[in-house]
Amino acid sequence: MSYGGGELLSDISLTLSPGSFHFLTGPSGAGKTTFLKLCYGALLPTAGHVRMFGADVRDMSRDDVALARRRIGVVHQDVQFLDHLPVADNVALPLIVSGRDRTDESENLSELLNWVGLSKRAGALPAELSGGERQRAALARAVIMSPEVILADEPTGNIDWEMSQRLLQLLVELNRMGKTIMIATHDMNLIRAAKSQVQARVLRISQRRLHTAGADL
């Protein structure tokens, strides 16, 4: 994979098995965000193949990619909300974009906001949220379509340890429900905390390649 005129990732082969839990580590600039973008079809590889749910991304139409992405929830590093809409409306945006009737999903939305601990903040505007609340709202938005895979890019990078633990617990619960999880992070304490709760595989990008347990993938 080349990006910005230079090779960023090379000789990588990886399958995310259903229900698996992965951490993606590596120094800043190593390509973690790029790797996640490849996983959900936001970028195409300059060589090789990326398959989403069995289909080669290169052979998929834009509509096919859009439909596949509904099966993947993404928590972005730079959480973006529509500042003029309250939390509940921001979380519900994927429903609206997909053409689903929000009124039919009102109960699920309420349950989801309760699950992430934001029921009392449903009417708050994004600017009124703390960092931890924003990250939990981002997770709620990412999972409202009941995706099979959740990709989180540095979800605990700007929040304190207590909130990091809370967010991790939500992701562990999703994994126990059968969801495939991949978290890009620098936080080794977070990884240690997770490995006491779930069987997690730690992947590291180093020198343009992906490694696990000291071996190349």
- Over residues 72-98, the pLDDT tens digits come to 999 998 888 999 999 999 999 998 888
The parent domain of residue 189 ranges over 2-71+147-216
Quote the percentage of the chain above a pLDDT of 90: 57
Q: Could you tell me the pLDDT band of residue 215, with boundaries at 50, 70 and 90?
A: very low
The CA distance from 43 to 147, in Å, is 20
Domain count, the chain: 1
The residue that leads in pLDDT, 216 or 112, is 112
Q: Is residue 172 part of a domain?
A: yes
| Residue 152 within a domain | yes
Q: What is the side-by-side order of every strand in the sheet holding 72-75?
A: 72-75, 149-153, 180-184, 21-25, 201-206, 209-212, 215-216
CATH label of the domain that carries residue 168: 3.40.50.300
- Asked, for residue 21, whether it belongs to a domain, the answer is yes
**Total residue length of the chain:** 217
Answer yes or no: is 80 within a domain: no
pTM of the full structure: 0.89
Is residue 170 within 8 Å of 115, Cβ to Cβ?
yes
Nearest CA among 26, 4, 5 for reference residue 183: 26
Q: Which residue is associated with the tokens 């809409």?
A: 85
Tell me the per-residue pLDDT of 41-69, one tens digit each, with 9 for 90 and over.
898 888 888 889 999 998 999 999 988 99
Cβ pair 17, 180 in contact under 8 A: yes
The span from the CA of 38 to the CA of 27, in Å, is: 18
Q: Does some domain include residue 53? A: yes
Nearest C-alpha neighbor of 152 from the set 165, 162, 138 = 138
Asked whether residue 12 carries a pLDDT value surpassing 80, the answer given is no
Is 127 within the bounds of a domain?
A: no
